[in-house]
Amino acid sequence: MLDLVDLGKRSFSAFRGIAPQEQLDEVLHLAQRLRGVRCLHLNATPYGGGVSELLRSGVPLLNDLGIVTDWKIIRGDQAFFQITKRLHNALQGAPGEFSESDKATYLAHSRLNANSLSEGDYDFIVVHDPQPAALPMIGGRKGARWVWRCHIDTSRPNPEAWEFLRPFLSSYDAAIFTLPEFIPPRFPISHVAIHSPAIDPLSPKNLPLPEELARHILEWIGVRLSRPLVTQISRFDPWKDPMGVIAAYRRVRERVPELQLAMVGSLALDDPEGWDVYREIRDATANDNLIHIFTNLVGVGNIEVNAFQALSNVVIQKSIREGFGLVVSEALWKGTPVVAGRAGGIPLQMPEGTGGILVDSVDECAEAVLHLLKHPREAHRLGEQGREHVRRHFLVPRLLLDFLHLLDSLVQEKPVEPRGLALASQPSASP
Ligand code: UDP
């Protein structure tokens, strides 16, 4: 059996007055048409990283809207997740070879996971990222239409990795990417939609924390707020360039000696590489009491992340490759200016400098952080503009709207049987 992720109930009407009203109206209109459709989201981890973040908010909201939605996690052992992390890296362009035994391990797990799906339970199955991508080819379509949601930058994949994955994708009916540039060469799915991810402004990570409470939370874990603070929040992953962040920070500290750096990182179930990166960061920062390293494993979770994003003078996201980078929208939503790598979906969130400064190197990063620290009024203005940009484009109702549009277009192509109608709950009061 695949593990079903338990989720609370959410009310779509709670976004009234926060997200743009026209988006809310359109979501309700489409949801009415799609009521009773049954949908499964499948991915590799229930925590750590952007995909779990999206599903944790999106799945209960879809249920509230009458789309009968489950979220399940595929199973895999250490060897499987080591291979899939290499596959993930190679699809983002890293070198990497896949032996026959690697491929056999990937296929064996895909078969086991595919066998756990029953025939006819869902109208749509949405598979996130490469880890579960082979399921419909290996186990059959189970009476559902399949959508592959690729969250990573696959514009220049390592050819060997791409040739391995590509044949599995021909069993899909549609695909979703964050940017059109991410669609890899000779892509076998003709129905492609472009959706950018979004944040949930009402989740514990993003809701407005009273400043006194936020200060208390950070002081309690040892951050001294009498000193300036810059923070990067990311999985411990080389693509997020943590060593580049440390190098840039050290350069800024030559000019702002009291500056603190917090590196807040999560270790995910499907990311065994995270431990190596974590150790590398620890070694590079040992004995420096102005650098704080925190992880989800020592209890630094959503509320702490919220407080870091709200109270840092500048949030850094120095990614080299990035699918989207939810952390950028999360920081901007709190009105905090961001210095971020010009990579993947980040410039979408900070067009023409909205919200902060885009950078291409350690030097540029150091300069941009220093500039914002020295010009707090400009930093504040950028943060406020960034917040409004996020409100219009990157809050979860807009993501639901894109998703419902895709389901609707697939239903227009071929109607679904009305089997799930009886299961759909009543949506909460209209916003
Ligand atoms: N995150 C977290 N704790 C951490 C590090 C990251 O809660 O210590 C969250 C972060 O707030 C964001 C998500 O993990 O919601 C990361 O998503 P993003 O799209 O930025 O990157 P991904 O991990 O998907 O590459």
Q: For residue range 136-192, list pLDDT tens digits in order.
A: 999 999 999 999 999 999 999 999 999 999 999 999 999 999 999 999 999 999 999
Atom of ligand 1 lying closest to residue 264 CA: 8
Residue 422: the pLDDT is 46
- pLDDT tens-digit readout, 13-26: 999 999 999 999 99
Give 210-227 as a 3 state SS string: CHHHHHHHHHHCCCCCCC
For atom 23 of ligand 1, which residue has the closest CA? 49
50 lines ligand 1 (CB under 6 A): yes
Q: In sequence order, which residues have a C-beta less than 8 Å from that of residue 94 and are 6 or more positions away?
A: 158
Residue 430: the pLDDT is 56
235 lines ligand 1 (CB under 6 A): yes
197: CA distance to ligand 1 center in Å? Answer: 12
Place of tokens 């590398």: 280
| DSSP state letter for 206 | T
- pLDDT tens-digit readout, 234-290: 999 999 999 999 999 999 999 999 999 999 998 877 788 899 999 999 999 999 999
Cβ–Cβ < 8 Å for 90, 157: yes
Residue 288: the pLDDT is 96
Atom of ligand 1 lying closest to residue 309 CA: 11
Q: Which of 41-50, 125-134, 205-214, 305-314 has the lowest mean pLDDT?
A: 41-50
Joined tokens for residue 335: 């009105």
Domains of the chain: 3-198+395-413 (3.40.50.2000), 211-393 (3.40.50.2000)
Give burial (CB, 10 Å; 0-12/13-18/19+) of 180.
exposed
198: CA distance to ligand 1 center in Å? Answer: 12
Residue 91 identity: L
Phi and psi at 50, nearest 5°, equal -70, -35
Please give the model's pTM, rounded to 2 decimal places: 0.94
Residue 114 identity: A
HSE-CB of 119 using CA atoms within 13 angstroms: 1
Q: At what angle do helices 100-115 and 78-91 cross, to 10 degrees?
A: 110
317 lines ligand 1 (CB under 6 A): no
